């Protein structure tokens, strides 16, 4: 019982843990809850931990072997299902029931032996079915007659020997591509293709079938979008006969020829295409013929009415004696053996508007081209060296609008495109450009809308490099560089620019006004540079900016507040690949990222680089609450430290006041040792000794004074003596005020303690003696003392007989106030 319980617990734990898509580990999670890569995982059945919301599931190269009913019904969101090479031998009825959204089903490379009649039921939206290399023998027994939504059906690499198409295909009005390549079809007879006769949108691929016979006239009245017959004829005789059997066919696109590594035809005569004279062809392709006849006129005579002509991988040395192609508007020569551009007589192509000569690695020399109606010229992916580009002398095509010279060797911009003013698109990418900084080479191209100079070894030095391009809308210049790796205001006249790509340009800095003229810009790619900072304010003039790519720079953070102002028009922003510093100083930026996560869809994850404990962690996990807590803790800590320092400062400042308070509480109302503690400046000591001490201590009644030079205890701190011996043991305090007193720090200290002492002791009193006249300006330096003297009565010393008498009488009276008389004093008073 215990093992079964444990097993159930494990199963339940596995199931519920995978309710969270991030916890499913049996497959590679390409995109959470949407796409899973389960290829080559040795699964024998559909894994249970795939979320029901999955749209794209790859289960290829797993030994599934058999598919039971409703095998995928739990994954209701599936749109694409790949079951390639899963050794599936049996597909039972209703296997795909529940997949109501499935549009693509791939079963390539499965040795299917048993197929239920209802095997493909439950697929109401299926558009693409791939059953390549599945041992299929007959279309008649293939149970797909109900799949009327099919647009593409791939049945190649099987063992189908008859082209007798099943009647249900007549109802497949949406079918656009039927692929039967590499089967065993040898004959095309009357009635074989009847079900598709009324489907003008269908392309039929019969390549690599060993076709030996096409019954003459059976295709009359047929209209096909495309017919592909590459590698279908094993001899020129069979090809000649079969093409003649296609009489009456109308086809938009016909593809003939072979595969480069599978040459079948033993010879290729100039009359081999004569059978096409009775076929209505719109676009003709000849791919990889084994040889090319010298008589071009005879070879092309039945193709003079085509509109588009492709010659691919043909061993052509030159094209001479050509017939006239009155309707031909597009000629494409790809990967032929040209080492010099062939001379194409304009009289043979009076209507030619598009000429593409591409992918010729030996083509280095550009010959003169003269086509008065030519609008598009593509000379890309050759090895051209153009020494003087470009003008109407280089290309005599006054109506030229699209010029592509990309992926060539060297192009020297020695002309300013005079005579080519109608150009709207110019592609020069991946060429070694020269002369682009010498003068405004694009000055004449006022109608140009698209310019690509990416990876052209351009180092922008001149601010006038784009002068004249007033209508340019798209500029690509990735993989180049700027002077000092700084982006200056070089786009000043490009006010109509809509997209700008300056990625991979080693940029370290973008000046504030670099984009102030680009009000129409919608897409800006500044990725893969060396920017350490990027102020979003730089993009503020870009009123219509929708897409911003700053990925893979060295940016540690952006200004969140400036981003907030910028994000009004943005629909996409890519910040991935930057070493973000995930600290609280950048909290506003990370909060902006969280609030605008919808703008980041489609970009790679944005991760932290520093501090080390956050390396490779998503910035979306940055905790703002932690920052708030840290700020609170820091604020509280700072406040606590300030309070402690304040307390310490107060304790330090009022230490002696506290000592005085403690002493007052300890002594309480006990007997005082001294009648008065005298506070005076040491420079007034002579007066204190000769006058104050002599008259008070030797007079009648006598008073005991506390004097620092006589009564302070040696070895004790002066401040402690002042408090303990002076204030604690005295009834009153005598303050001798003079100029010296005002200027003395010790006198000021003793006076401040005296104020505290007077406040704490109810019986205490301070007697002020003005020893000499003190100027008010000097006295006001001691604000509290000045105020007290204005509010209280004080004694003034006058060195006259009458003044002395009055002074001593008033002083004795003040000292006697509050004094308890001793027996000796009472007796002396009675005797008197």
> CA gyration radius for the chain?
52
- High-pLDDT (> 90) share of the chain, %: 48
Residue 681 lies in a domain: yes
pLDDT of residue 122: 93
Residue 601 and residue 484 share a domain: yes
What is residue 552's DSSP assignment? S
Residue 731 and residue 596 share a domain: no
For the segment 268-295, the average pLDDT, to the nearest whole number, is: 88
pLDDT of residue 652: 59
Higher pLDDT, 164 or 682: 164
pLDDT of residue 560: 75
Lowest mean pLDDT among 69-78, 363-372, 532-541, 629-638: 629-638
Supply 242's token pair.
């079969």
Lowest mean pLDDT among 304-318, 384-398, 664-678: 664-678
Lowest mean pLDDT among 46-55, 211-220, 283-292, 470-479: 283-292
* Burial bucket for residue 74 (CB in 10 Å: 0-12, 13-18, 19+): middle
* Burial bucket for residue 168 (CB in 10 Å: 0-12, 13-18, 19+): middle
Confidence of residue 11 (pLDDT cuts 50, 70, 90): very low
Residue 701 and residue 631 share a domain: no
Residue 688 and residue 618 share a domain: no
**N- to C-terminal Cα separation, the chain:** 122
Task: List pLDDT tens digits, range 245-270.
Answer: 999 999 999 999 988 777 667 677 88
Higher pLDDT, 177 or 659: 177
Cα–Cα distance between 82 and 68 in angstroms, integer?
Answer: 17
Higher pLDDT, 162 or 605: 162
User: 7-42: buried (b, 16+ CB within 10 Å) or exposed (e) per residue?
Assistant: eeeeeeeeeeebeebeebeebebeeebbbbbbbeee
- High-pLDDT (> 70) share of the chain, %: 90
Residue 488 and residue 622 share a domain: yes
**Residues 397, 422 contacting (CB under 8 angstroms):** no
* Burial bucket for residue 599 (CB in 10 Å: 0-12, 13-18, 19+): buried
580 pLDDT higher than 60: yes
pLDDT of residue 16: 36
Residue 685 and residue 735 share a domain: yes
Q: For residue 691, what are the domain limits?
A: 676-816
**CATH number of the domain that 504 lies in?**
3.80.10.10
Confidence of residue 644 (pLDDT cuts 50, 70, 90): confident
For the segment 504-526, the average pLDDT, to the nearest whole number, is: 93
| Diameter over CA atoms, the chain | 171
- Please state the separation of Cα 383 from the chain's center in Å: 37
Residue 716 and residue 569 share a domain: no
pLDDT of residue 17: 37
Among 81, 72, 74, CA closest to 102: 81
Among 763, 808, 768, CA closest to 789: 768
613 SS3 class? helix
Supply 251's token pair.
């086809």
pLDDT of residue 5: 41
Residue 782 lies in a domain: yes
107 pLDDT higher than 90: yes
Among 194, 155, 154, 202, CA closest to 175: 202
pLDDT of residue 549: 93
Among 336, 333, 334, CA closest to 291: 336
What's the total number of domains in the chain? 2
Last residue of a domain, one of 635, 661, 688: 635
Residue 615 and residue 484 share a domain: yes
Residue 774 and residue 712 share a domain: yes
Last residue of a domain, one of 584, 607, 635: 635
Separate counts of helices (H) and strands (E) for the chain: 17, 45
**CATH number of the domain that 800 lies in?**
3.40.50.10140
**Residues 123, 94 contacting (CB under 8 angstroms):** no
- Bond before 198 cis per omega within 30 degrees: no
Residue 193 lies in a domain: no
pLDDT of residue 621: 80
Residue 626 and residue 482 share a domain: yes
670 pLDDT higher than 80: no
Positions of E strands within 223-314: 223-230, 250-257, 280-287, 308-312
664 pLDDT higher than 80: no
**Residues 425, 400 contacting (CB under 8 angstroms):** no
Supply 634's token pair.
């820091």
Residue 20 lies in a domain: no
For the segment 397-424, the average pLDDT, to the nearest whole number, is: 92
Residue 628 and residue 532 share a domain: yes
Residue 115 lies in a domain: no
Last residue of a domain, one of 605, 635, 665: 635
- DSSP string of 665-696, one letter each residue: HHHTTPPPSEEEEEE--GGGHHHIIIIIIHHH
Residue 205 lies in a domain: no
Residue 709 and residue 604 share a domain: no
Supply 725's token pair.
């011996």
For the segment 328-340, the average pLDDT, to the nearest whole number, is: 90
Lowest mean pLDDT among 16-30, 407-421, 565-579: 16-30
**Residues 281, 257 contacting (CB under 8 angstroms):** no
Residue 653 half-sphere exposure, CB side, CA atoms within 13 Å?
A: 6
Supply 393's token pair.
């002398």
Cα–Cα distance between 486 and 508 in angstroms, integer?
Answer: 6
Task: List pLDDT tens digits, range 29-59.
Answer: 888 889 999 999 999 999 998 999 999 999 9
Lowest mean pLDDT among 56-70, 484-498, 602-616: 602-616
9 pLDDT higher than 50: no
What is residue 766's DSSP assignment? E
Q: Could you give the angle at the alpha carbon of 76 between the alpha carbons of 72 and 82, nearest 5°?
A: 50
**Residues 726, 762 contacting (CB under 8 angstroms):** no
219 SS3 class? coil
Helix/strand/coil (H/E/C) assignment for every residue in 714-751 = CCCCHHHHHHHHHHCCEEEEEEEECHHHHHCHHHHHHH
Residue 832 lies in a domain: no
Lowest mean pLDDT among 163-167, 465-469, 610-614: 610-614
Supply 65's token pair.
């072997």
Residue 573 lies in a domain: yes
For the segment 744-760, the average pLDDT, to the nearest whole number, is: 73
**What average pLDDT does the structure give for the chain?**
85
């Amino acid at each position: 019982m215990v093992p079964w319980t444990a097993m159930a617990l494990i199963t339940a734990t596995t199931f519920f843990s995978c309710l969270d898509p991030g916890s499913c580990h049996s497959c590679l999670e390409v995109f959470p809850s949407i796409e899973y890569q389960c290829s080559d995982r040795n699964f024998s059945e559909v894994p249970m931990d795939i979320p029901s919301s999955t749209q794209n599931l790859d289960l290829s190269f797993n030994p599934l072997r058999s598919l039971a009913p409703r095998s995928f019904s739990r994954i209701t969101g599936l749109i694409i299902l790949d079951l390639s090479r899963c050794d599936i031998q049996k597909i039972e009825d209703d296997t795909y029931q529940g997949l109501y959204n499935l549009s693509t089903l791939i079963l390539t490379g499965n040795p299917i032996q048993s197929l239920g009649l209802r095997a493909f039921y439950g697929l109401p939206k299926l558009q693409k079915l791939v059953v390549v290399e599945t041992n299929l023998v007959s279309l008649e027994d293939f149970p797909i007659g109900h799949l009327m939504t099919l647009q593409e059906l791939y049945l190649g690499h099987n063992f189908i020997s008859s082209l007798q198409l099943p009647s249900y295909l007549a109802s497949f009005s949406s079918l656009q591509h039927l692929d039967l390549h590499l089967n065993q079809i040898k004959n095309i007879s009357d009635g074989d293709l009847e079900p598709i006769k009324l489907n003008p949108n269908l392309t039929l691929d019969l390549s690599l079938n060993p076709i030996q016979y096409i019954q003459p006239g059976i295709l009359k009245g047929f209209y096909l979008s495309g017919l592909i017959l590459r590698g279908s004829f094993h001899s020129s005789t069979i090809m000649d006969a079969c093409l003649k059997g296609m009489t009456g066919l109308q086809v938009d696109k016909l593809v003939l020829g072979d595969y480069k590594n599978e040459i079948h035809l033993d010879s290729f005569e100039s009359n081999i295409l004569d059978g096409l004279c009775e076929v209505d062809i719109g676009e003709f392709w000849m791919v990889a013929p084994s040889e090319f006849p010298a008589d071009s006129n005879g070879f092309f005579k039945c193709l003079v009415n085509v509109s588009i002509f492709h010659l691919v991988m043909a061993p052509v040395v030159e094209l001479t004696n050509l017939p006239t192609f009155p309707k031909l508007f597009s000629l494409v020569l790809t990967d032929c053996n040209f080492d010099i551009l062939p001379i194409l007589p304009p009289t043979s192509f009076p209507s030619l508007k598009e000429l593409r000569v591409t992918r010729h690695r030996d083509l280095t020399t550009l010959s003169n081209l003269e086509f008065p109606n030519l609008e598009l010229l593509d000379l890309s992916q050759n090895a051209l060296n153009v020494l003087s580009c470009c003008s109407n002398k280089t290309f005599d095509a006054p109506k030229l609008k699209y010029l592509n010279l990309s992926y060539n060797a060297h192009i020297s911009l020695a002309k300013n495109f005079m005579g080519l003013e109608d150009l709207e698109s110019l592609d020069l990418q991946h060429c070694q450009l020269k002369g682009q900084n010498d003068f405004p080479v694009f000055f004449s191209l006022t109608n140009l809308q698209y310019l690509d100079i990416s990876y052209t070894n351009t180092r922008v030095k001149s601010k006038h490099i784009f002068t004249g391009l007033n209508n340019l809308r798209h500029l690509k210049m990735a993989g180049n560089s700027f002077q000092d790796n700084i982006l200056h205001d070089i786009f000043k006249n490009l006010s109509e620019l809509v997209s700008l790509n300056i990625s991979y340009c080693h940029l370290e800095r973008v000046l504030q006004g670099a984009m102030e003229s680009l009000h129409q810009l919608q897409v800006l790619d500044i990725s893969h540079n060396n920017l350490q900072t990027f102020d979003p304010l730089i993009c503020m003039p870009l009123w219509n900016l929708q897409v911003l790519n700053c990925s893979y720079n060295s940016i540690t953070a952006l200004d969140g507040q400036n981003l907030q102002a910028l994000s009004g028009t943005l629909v996409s922003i890519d910040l991935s690949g930057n070493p973000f510093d995930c600290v609280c100083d950048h909290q506003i930026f990370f909060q902006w990222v969280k609030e605008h996560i919808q703008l980041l869809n489609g970009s790679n994850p944005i991760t932290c680089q520093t501090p080390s404990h956050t390396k490779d962690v998503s910035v979306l996990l940055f905790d703002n609450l932690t920052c708030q807590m840290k700020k609170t803790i820091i604020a509280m800590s700072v406040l606590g430290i300030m309070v402690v320092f304040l307390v310490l400062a107060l304790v330090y400042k009022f230490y002696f006041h506290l000592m005085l308070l403690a002493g007052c509480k300890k002594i309480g109302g006990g007997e005082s040792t001294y009648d008065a503690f005298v506070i005076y400046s040491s420079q007034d000591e002579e007066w204190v000794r000769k006058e104050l001490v002599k008259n008070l201590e030797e007079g009648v009644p006598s008073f005991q004074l506390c004097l620092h030079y006589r009564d302070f205890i040696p070895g004790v701190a002066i401040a402690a003596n002042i408090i303990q011996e002076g204030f604690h043991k005295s009834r009153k305090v005598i303050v001798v005020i003079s100029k010296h007193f005002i200027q003395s720090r010790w006198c000021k200290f003793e006076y401040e303690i005296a104020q505290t002492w007077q406040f704490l002791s109810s019986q205490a009193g301070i007697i002020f003696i003005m020893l000499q006249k003190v100027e008010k300006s000097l006295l006001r330096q001691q604000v509290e003392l000045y105020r007290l003297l204005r509010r209280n009565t004080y004694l003034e010393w006058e060195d006259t007989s009458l003044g002395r008498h009055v002074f001593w009488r008033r002083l004795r009276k003040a000292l006697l106030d509050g004094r308890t008389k001793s027996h000796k004093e009472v007796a002396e008073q009675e005797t008197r």
